[in-house]
Amino acid sequence: MRKVTKIFLVLLITLIISCSGDDGTDGIDGLNSLIVTLIEQPGGNCSNGGFQIQSGIDLNSNNQLELTEVDNTKFICNGQNANLGFNRYVSLISQSGATNPTSAILENTLGLDISWIRESQGKYLGTLDTSIDINNSVIFYNTPSTHTGVRGEIVSSSQIRLELEAGINAFRDNFSNLSFELREYE
């Protein structure tokens, strides 16, 4: 019985050592998958508007999902009820150099104005001239093709911040027609 126990222990230790699989070399990095979310205006894809979600592999490793790299497109549509119970401010935001962003307002049922300032490279603060209820509000935006990502937050009932990236924690100015929407639900 003792001999069987020793053989079992030797086999168990050999199995553990042989299964470690670490030969000390790193593997080759793979390609990144990317997702882009766009606002889908009312039309053939979504009768009441919604969102278009594009995904694919970044074949040229430039951290941007280009049209030729899109493998899949899905739509998340707003409900069929035409009365969705919110007011909104929709605009296209552009910025160049070290100037403050400008907005072309497309729709404004909230009846407010947003003044944008450039805080630093790729970081912008929008000040609302009318307060919103932050518990019932949300913002939507798209990522310009010149950038790798956009982060946005409602800072307070009268301020919004946008940060445009050109890589991880690398912020960049110069963009045009960033689609921006602020919704306040009733």
**pLDDT tens for each residue of 102-124:** 999 999 999 999 999 999 999 99
Write the pLDDT tens digit of every residue in 141-183.
Answer: 998 888 988 999 999 999 999 999 988 889 999 999 999 999 9
Query: What is the edge-to-edge ordering of all strands in the sheet holding 86-95?
Result: 102-108, 86-95, 175-185, 137-141
Check: CB of residue 103 under 8 Å from CB of residue 143: no
Query: What's the confidence (pLDDT) of residue 5?
Result: 56
Amino acid, res. 137: S
Q: pLDDT by residue (tens digit) across 46-68?
A: 888 888 888 888 899 888 888 89
43 falls in which pLDDT band (50, 70, 90)? confident
Would you state the pLDDT for residue 86? 92
DSSP 8-state symbol, 27:
-
Both tokens of residue 40?
């889908």
- Give the domain ranges of the chain: 33-77, 86-185
